[in-house]
Amino acid sequence: MFAISNLVAIGCIQGGAVSSYLFFKSKAARWLGSFLMLISVNMCVAFYLNGGLFTPEMTWVALWNSANTYWLLGPILLVFVLTITQPYKKFRVRDLLHLLPFGINLLLALTFWFSKHSLSHIDYLNSLVQWRDMPLIERFSLSFLLPAIHFTLYLLVTSWLALKYWKENEVKQVAAQLSWICLALTISYLMMSTMLGVLVVALILDIPSSPSLFAIANLTTVLCLFSVSLLLARFGAPEAGNRQVSIPAGKSANKACTQIKGIATAQEQAQLDRLEL
pLDDT at 261 over 70: no
Average pLDDT over residues 227-243: 83
pLDDT of 2: 53
pLDDT band at 83 (very low <50, low <70, confident <90, very high): very high
**Can you give the pLDDT at residue 260?**
45
User: For 174, phi and psi rounded to 5 degrees?
Assistant: -120, 30
pLDDT grade for 84, boundaries at 50, 70 and 90: very high
Q: Are 265 and 88 in contact (CB under 8 A)?
A: yes
Q: Average pLDDT, whole number, for the chain?
A: 82
Q: Which residue has the higher pLDDT, 43 or 276?
A: 43
For residue range 135-163, what is the model confidence (pLDDT) as tens digits?
888 777 888 889 999 999 999 999 999 99
Q: Which residue has the higher pLDDT, 241 or 44?
A: 44
Nearest residue to 266 (alpha-carbon basis) of 168, 176, 172: 168
Tally of CB atoms within 10 A around 245 = 11
* Residue 272 CA, distance from chain mean position: 35
Q: Which residues contact 237 (CB under 8 A, 6 or more apart)?
A: 21, 22, 25, 26, 28, 29
* 181 touches 81 (CB < 8 A): yes
